[in-house]
Amino acid sequence: RGTRMWHVTNGKGKELVLKDAWSMGAVGKPEYVYLKKAEGLQGVQQLVDYEDRTGQPYGEISRFRPRYITDTTGPFDDKSFQRIVTPRYGLSIRWFKDEKMLLQAMFDAVRAHCKLLKKGVLHCDISTGNILLGQPGKKKPTPGYRGILIDLDYAVEVDFTAGPSLSSVGTQFYMSIILLRGMSAAYQPARDHLDDIESFYYVLVHLIFGRYDPGQSAIMHDFIRREWGSDDPERAAYAKEAFLQAPLDVTDIPQFWSKECKQMVVDMHKFIGSLVKTGNKVT
């Protein structure tokens, strides 16, 4: 996609982000299409402006690619230049300072995902890089803006009458088990909102076990980073399935977290595990 981004400031002193990318229309619609649908939604990245050079001189790769190459080298996936301008938000959720900041950001991001889905858009790329801290430095962040869901590059339109999408893109580290296994299957499994919910849980687990206690082993964190991050999708899927099938107790969770937070993670572990088990039976 050749994505490039800049932090810029407009004439009124407002900080913005300018993002350039080359979009392949055959794969999906440009990001600005989905951002338009998200206008006014709390917790979702907002669109300030955009530029679409489709059909314009030098706006498509085919227009400055030597014709003899385009005509004689077989199938060619053309791409068009897209630019979007959005507000500048905070850092990645990875940079949370305390439990309250993390959980508030996660809560707002999940709610934003739900609102986006009601607008007919499925995000499809839930990851720590795509959840930002919305109001860094503010003593009392505004509910709904404490976590911002960004990057609709891989989003898809949801047609509730046509069934789930067949999209299999996203950040592999946080991808659902079914989608990981589908990467090497003859037929890709359908994707729906439950895959994104599963990804949210993996984001939470990654961050929760990343705060291991001083002087104690980081076995679980290292296991997650090594196995979930495997280049082999089947191995990553097996590691996640093994994690969800194994009982999780509050004593397994680092002492950094409160009793209530630990119990929440344990309860979510059971819930996501049951979803995955049900999904495996269906497939």
Average pLDDT, the chain: 88
Q: Residue 197: pLDDT above 80?
A: yes
Q: Which residue has the higher pLDDT, 33 or 159?
A: 33
Q: Which residue has the higher pLDDT, 56 or 263?
A: 263
Q: Residue 156: pLDDT above 50?
A: yes
Q: Residue 129: pLDDT above 80?
A: yes
Rg (CA), the chain: 20
Contacts of residue 20, defined as CB under 8 A and 6 or more positions apart, other chains included, come to 2, 3, 4, 5, 81, 82, 83
Instruction: Tell me what the mean pLDDT of segment 96-123 comes to.
Output: 96
Give the range with max mean pLDDT: 8-17, 55-64, 72-81, 181-190. 8-17
- What is the C-alpha to C-alpha distance for residues 172 and 187, in angstroms, rounded to an integer? 18
- What is the C-alpha to C-alpha distance for residues 4 and 21, in angstroms, rounded to an integer? 7
* Percentage above 70 pLDDT, the chain: 86
The whole model's pTM is what?
A: 0.90
Question: Which runs of consecutive H residues, i.e. helices, occur in 193-257?
Answer: 193-208, 219-223, 233-245
What is the longest distance spanned by two Cα atoms in the chain?
A: 66
Bridge pairing between strands 4-9 and 15-23: antiparallel
Reported as a pLDDT band with limits 50, 70 and 90, residue 160 is low
| Residue 281 pLDDT | 47
- What is the C-alpha to C-alpha distance for residues 42 and 50, in angstroms, rounded to an integer? 20
Q: Comparing C-alpha atoms, which of 165, 176, 169 is closest to residue 1?
A: 169
Q: Residue 261: pLDDT above 90?
A: yes
